[in-house]
Amino acid sequence: MSSFPSPARVSLILRLVLSSSPFTCFDFAMKLNLLLTVLSASLAVAAPISPRPVAHNEKRNTPLNTILTIILNNLPAVNGAIEAVESVITDFQNLISELTGISDTYNELGGACTDYTVIYARGTDDPGNAGVITGPPFFMALEALVGSSKVTVQGVNNYAASVATFLAGGDPVGSASMASEIEAAYAACPNTNLVASGYSQGGQVVHNALALLPAATVKWISSVVIFGDPDDGQAIPNMDASKVDTICHTGDNICEAGDIILPAHLTYGENAAAAAAFVVAHAST
Protein backbone atom coordinates (compact mmCIF):
# COMPACT_ATOMS: atom_id res chain seq x y z
CA MET A 1 0.00 0.00 0.00
CA SER A 2 1.29 3.46 -0.87
CA SER A 3 2.75 5.49 1.99
CA PHE A 4 1.91 8.82 0.38
CA PRO A 5 -0.68 10.88 2.29
CA SER A 6 -4.28 10.40 1.27
CA PRO A 7 -6.03 13.19 -0.70
CA ALA A 8 -8.11 13.99 2.37
CA ARG A 9 -4.98 14.31 4.47
CA VAL A 10 -3.23 16.53 1.94
CA SER A 11 -6.37 18.67 1.68
CA LEU A 12 -6.41 19.17 5.44
CA ILE A 13 -2.71 20.03 5.50
CA LEU A 14 -3.04 22.54 2.68
CA ARG A 15 -6.21 24.09 4.11
CA LEU A 16 -4.52 24.73 7.43
CA VAL A 17 -1.01 25.63 6.34
CA LEU A 18 -1.87 27.74 3.30
CA SER A 19 -4.93 29.40 4.81
CA SER A 20 -5.33 33.08 3.99
CA SER A 21 -7.00 33.68 7.37
CA PRO A 22 -5.35 36.55 9.25
CA PHE A 23 -5.03 34.23 12.23
CA THR A 24 -2.94 31.64 10.34
CA CYS A 25 -1.03 33.92 7.99
CA PHE A 26 2.63 32.92 8.42
CA ASP A 27 5.28 34.24 6.12
CA PHE A 28 5.89 31.95 3.14
CA ALA A 29 9.03 30.35 4.57
CA MET A 30 7.27 29.33 7.78
CA LYS A 31 4.33 27.91 5.83
CA LEU A 32 6.64 25.91 3.60
CA ASN A 33 8.57 24.61 6.61
CA LEU A 34 5.38 23.46 8.32
CA LEU A 35 4.07 21.86 5.15
CA LEU A 36 7.29 19.88 4.71
CA THR A 37 7.27 18.93 8.39
CA VAL A 38 3.75 17.53 8.40
CA LEU A 39 4.20 15.79 5.07
CA SER A 40 7.35 14.14 6.42
CA ALA A 41 5.47 13.08 9.54
CA SER A 42 2.71 11.69 7.35
CA LEU A 43 5.19 9.59 5.38
CA ALA A 44 6.65 8.33 8.66
CA VAL A 45 3.27 6.95 9.69
CA ALA A 46 2.67 5.24 6.39
CA ALA A 47 -0.21 2.98 7.36
CA PRO A 48 -3.69 4.53 7.04
CA ILE A 49 -4.94 5.73 10.41
CA SER A 50 -8.15 4.14 11.59
CA PRO A 51 -10.82 6.44 13.01
CA ARG A 52 -11.65 3.94 15.77
CA PRO A 53 -10.60 4.76 19.35
CA VAL A 54 -7.10 3.44 20.01
CA ALA A 55 -6.89 0.45 22.33
CA HIS A 56 -5.31 0.89 25.77
CA ASN A 57 -2.00 -0.84 25.07
CA GLU A 58 -1.81 0.40 21.48
CA LYS A 59 -2.12 4.09 22.28
CA ARG A 60 0.51 3.80 25.00
CA ASN A 61 3.07 2.92 22.33
CA THR A 62 2.32 5.89 20.07
CA PRO A 63 5.55 7.87 19.51
CA LEU A 64 3.90 11.08 20.64
CA ASN A 65 6.47 13.42 22.08
CA THR A 66 8.83 13.91 19.15
CA ILE A 67 6.07 14.50 16.62
CA LEU A 68 4.06 16.67 18.98
CA THR A 69 7.08 18.84 19.73
CA ILE A 70 7.65 19.42 16.02
CA ILE A 71 4.02 20.45 15.53
CA LEU A 72 3.95 22.69 18.61
CA ASN A 73 7.02 24.49 17.34
CA ASN A 74 4.99 25.45 14.26
CA LEU A 75 1.72 26.47 15.87
CA PRO A 76 -0.51 28.88 13.96
CA ALA A 77 0.20 32.45 15.04
CA VAL A 78 -3.26 32.93 16.47
CA ASN A 79 -4.24 36.21 18.08
CA GLY A 80 -7.98 36.71 18.22
CA ALA A 81 -11.22 36.16 20.10
CA ILE A 82 -12.02 32.52 20.68
CA GLU A 83 -15.03 32.53 18.36
CA ALA A 84 -12.82 33.80 15.53
CA VAL A 85 -10.02 31.24 15.86
CA GLU A 86 -11.79 28.14 17.18
CA SER A 87 -11.98 26.40 13.80
CA VAL A 88 -8.27 26.97 13.17
CA ILE A 89 -7.38 25.34 16.49
CA THR A 90 -9.75 22.44 15.91
CA ASP A 91 -8.31 21.86 12.43
CA PHE A 92 -4.80 21.98 13.82
CA GLN A 93 -5.58 19.34 16.45
CA ASN A 94 -7.32 17.14 13.90
CA LEU A 95 -4.23 17.43 11.73
CA ILE A 96 -1.97 16.28 14.55
CA SER A 97 -4.27 13.38 15.34
CA GLU A 98 -4.52 12.39 11.68
CA LEU A 99 -0.79 12.50 11.08
CA THR A 100 0.36 10.78 14.26
CA GLY A 101 -2.46 8.48 15.28
CA ILE A 102 -2.82 10.20 18.66
CA SER A 103 -6.23 9.37 20.06
CA ASP A 104 -8.53 12.25 21.03
CA THR A 105 -11.04 9.96 22.76
CA TYR A 106 -10.58 8.05 26.02
CA ASN A 107 -13.33 5.92 27.57
CA GLU A 108 -11.60 3.63 30.05
CA LEU A 109 -13.77 4.15 33.13
CA GLY A 110 -15.66 1.00 34.07
CA GLY A 111 -12.79 -1.40 33.50
CA ALA A 112 -10.48 -2.91 36.10
CA CYS A 113 -9.39 -0.55 38.86
CA THR A 114 -5.92 0.94 38.47
CA ASP A 115 -3.65 2.96 40.74
CA TYR A 116 -4.52 6.21 38.96
CA THR A 117 -7.74 7.41 37.36
CA VAL A 118 -7.74 10.65 35.38
CA ILE A 119 -11.07 12.31 34.63
CA TYR A 120 -10.29 14.96 32.03
CA ALA A 121 -12.35 17.81 30.54
CA ARG A 122 -11.13 19.10 27.17
CA GLY A 123 -10.94 22.69 25.98
CA THR A 124 -13.42 24.57 23.81
CA ASP A 125 -14.06 22.82 20.49
CA ASP A 126 -11.27 20.30 21.11
CA PRO A 127 -11.93 17.09 19.17
CA GLY A 128 -13.10 13.85 20.76
CA ASN A 129 -13.60 13.90 24.51
CA ALA A 130 -9.98 14.72 25.39
CA GLY A 131 -8.52 16.86 22.61
CA VAL A 132 -5.00 16.34 21.31
CA ILE A 133 -2.48 19.01 22.26
CA THR A 134 -2.83 19.03 26.07
CA GLY A 135 -4.58 15.96 27.47
CA PRO A 136 -2.75 13.13 25.67
CA PRO A 137 0.76 14.47 26.45
CA PHE A 138 -0.27 14.66 30.12
CA PHE A 139 -1.64 11.11 30.09
CA MET A 140 1.50 9.80 28.41
CA ALA A 141 3.76 11.60 30.87
CA LEU A 142 1.89 10.05 33.79
CA GLU A 143 2.09 6.61 32.21
CA ALA A 144 5.82 7.06 31.65
CA LEU A 145 6.25 7.62 35.39
CA VAL A 146 4.06 4.85 36.78
CA GLY A 147 3.43 2.42 33.92
CA SER A 148 0.60 2.41 31.41
CA SER A 149 -1.19 -0.49 33.10
CA LYS A 150 -1.61 1.62 36.23
CA VAL A 151 -3.50 4.49 34.60
CA THR A 152 -7.16 4.78 33.60
CA VAL A 153 -8.16 7.81 31.52
CA GLN A 154 -11.71 9.01 31.01
CA GLY A 155 -12.59 12.06 28.96
CA VAL A 156 -15.74 13.88 30.04
CA ASN A 157 -18.69 12.86 27.86
CA ASN A 158 -21.99 14.72 27.33
CA TYR A 159 -19.99 17.94 27.23
CA ALA A 160 -20.52 20.38 24.37
CA ALA A 161 -17.35 22.44 24.99
CA SER A 162 -18.78 25.22 22.82
CA VAL A 163 -17.80 28.88 22.71
CA ALA A 164 -21.20 29.79 24.17
CA THR A 165 -20.70 27.54 27.21
CA PHE A 166 -17.18 28.88 27.71
CA LEU A 167 -18.45 32.45 27.75
CA ALA A 168 -21.17 31.39 30.20
CA GLY A 169 -18.62 30.01 32.68
CA GLY A 170 -18.37 26.38 31.61
CA ASP A 171 -20.86 23.89 30.19
CA PRO A 172 -23.33 22.97 32.98
CA VAL A 173 -24.20 19.63 31.39
CA GLY A 174 -20.53 18.76 31.01
CA SER A 175 -19.90 19.85 34.60
CA ALA A 176 -22.62 17.53 35.87
CA SER A 177 -21.26 14.75 33.66
CA MET A 178 -17.78 15.15 35.11
CA ALA A 179 -19.17 15.08 38.64
CA SER A 180 -21.05 11.89 37.79
CA GLU A 181 -17.92 10.26 36.35
CA ILE A 182 -15.95 11.13 39.48
CA GLU A 183 -18.72 9.65 41.64
CA ALA A 184 -18.66 6.50 39.52
CA ALA A 185 -14.91 6.15 40.02
CA TYR A 186 -15.33 6.73 43.76
CA ALA A 187 -17.94 4.00 44.03
CA ALA A 188 -16.15 1.45 41.84
CA CYS A 189 -12.50 2.09 42.73
CA PRO A 190 -12.22 3.79 46.13
CA ASN A 191 -8.50 3.03 46.36
CA THR A 192 -7.53 4.67 43.08
CA ASN A 193 -5.76 8.03 43.04
CA LEU A 194 -8.36 10.20 41.34
CA VAL A 195 -7.03 13.08 39.26
CA ALA A 196 -9.56 15.73 38.20
CA SER A 197 -8.07 17.58 35.26
CA GLY A 198 -9.04 19.97 32.51
CA TYR A 199 -7.77 22.40 29.92
CA SER A 200 -9.18 25.84 29.11
CA GLN A 201 -13.00 25.57 29.37
CA GLY A 202 -12.26 22.18 30.89
CA GLY A 203 -10.83 24.10 33.83
CA GLN A 204 -14.18 25.79 34.33
CA VAL A 205 -15.80 22.37 34.18
CA VAL A 206 -13.45 21.05 36.87
CA HIS A 207 -14.32 23.96 39.18
CA ASN A 208 -18.03 23.51 38.51
CA ALA A 209 -18.00 19.72 38.84
CA LEU A 210 -16.19 19.67 42.15
CA ALA A 211 -18.60 22.30 43.50
CA LEU A 212 -21.43 19.85 42.73
CA LEU A 213 -19.86 16.96 44.65
CA PRO A 214 -20.30 16.08 48.32
CA ALA A 215 -17.45 17.30 50.53
CA ALA A 216 -16.35 13.74 51.27
CA THR A 217 -15.94 12.96 47.59
CA VAL A 218 -13.91 16.10 46.94
CA LYS A 219 -11.62 15.34 49.88
CA TRP A 220 -11.07 11.84 48.45
CA ILE A 221 -9.69 13.28 45.19
CA SER A 222 -5.91 12.91 45.16
CA SER A 223 -5.07 15.89 42.97
CA VAL A 224 -6.43 18.49 40.59
CA VAL A 225 -4.47 19.61 37.52
CA ILE A 226 -5.77 22.47 35.36
CA PHE A 227 -4.03 23.84 32.28
CA GLY A 228 -4.86 27.36 31.07
CA ASP A 229 -7.55 27.89 33.72
CA PRO A 230 -10.13 30.63 33.01
CA ASP A 231 -10.96 30.50 36.74
CA ASP A 232 -7.34 30.93 37.82
CA GLY A 233 -7.16 32.11 41.41
CA GLN A 234 -10.57 30.79 42.42
CA ALA A 235 -10.48 28.25 45.24
CA ILE A 236 -12.24 24.90 44.90
CA PRO A 237 -14.59 24.28 47.84
CA ASN A 238 -13.52 21.43 50.16
CA MET A 239 -10.31 20.87 48.20
CA ASP A 240 -6.93 21.24 49.89
CA ALA A 241 -5.16 23.96 47.90
CA SER A 242 -1.87 22.06 48.16
CA LYS A 243 -3.38 19.30 46.01
CA VAL A 244 -4.28 21.71 43.18
CA ASP A 245 -1.84 22.43 40.36
CA THR A 246 -3.03 25.31 38.18
CA ILE A 247 -0.70 25.88 35.24
CA CYS A 248 -1.02 29.23 33.48
CA HIS A 249 1.50 30.60 31.02
CA THR A 250 2.63 34.20 31.07
CA GLY A 251 0.66 36.06 28.43
CA ASP A 252 -2.25 33.60 28.35
CA ASN A 253 -5.28 35.87 28.16
CA ILE A 254 -7.64 33.01 29.01
CA CYS A 255 -6.00 32.76 32.44
CA GLU A 256 -6.73 36.46 32.89
CA ALA A 257 -10.49 35.97 32.45
CA GLY A 258 -10.24 37.06 28.82
CA ASP A 259 -11.44 35.50 25.59
CA ILE A 260 -8.41 36.06 23.35
CA ILE A 261 -6.50 32.99 22.17
CA LEU A 262 -2.76 33.54 21.87
CA PRO A 263 0.01 30.98 21.25
CA ALA A 264 0.67 30.87 25.00
CA HIS A 265 -2.67 29.11 25.43
CA LEU A 266 -1.80 26.32 22.99
CA THR A 267 1.48 25.04 24.42
CA TYR A 268 0.49 23.35 27.68
CA GLY A 269 1.70 20.02 26.36
CA GLU A 270 5.12 21.31 27.36
CA ASN A 271 4.00 21.14 31.00
CA ALA A 272 2.93 17.50 30.83
CA ALA A 273 5.93 16.05 32.65
CA ALA A 274 5.77 18.53 35.52
CA ALA A 275 2.02 17.99 35.88
CA ALA A 276 2.48 14.21 35.95
CA ALA A 277 5.18 14.54 38.61
CA PHE A 278 2.77 16.63 40.71
CA VAL A 279 0.15 13.89 40.45
CA VAL A 280 2.57 11.18 41.55
CA ALA A 281 3.85 13.31 44.43
CA HIS A 282 0.29 13.60 45.78
CA ALA A 283 -0.67 9.95 45.34
CA SER A 284 -1.52 7.85 48.36
CA THR A 285 -0.52 4.51 46.84
**Which are the catalytic amino acids?**
200, 252, 265
Burial of 245 (0-12, 13-18, 19+ CB in 10 A): buried
Distance between CA atoms of 190 and 91, rounded to whole angstroms?
38
- Polymer length of the chain: 285
Count CB neighbours of 203 within 10 A: 29
Whole-number CA gyration radius for the chain: 18
Cβ-contact 124, 166 below 8 angstroms: yes
Residues ≥6 apart with Cβ < 8 Å to 259: 81, 82, 83, 166, 167, 253
Distance between CA atoms of 145 and 25, rounded to whole angstroms?
39
Strands 193-199 and 116-121: parallel
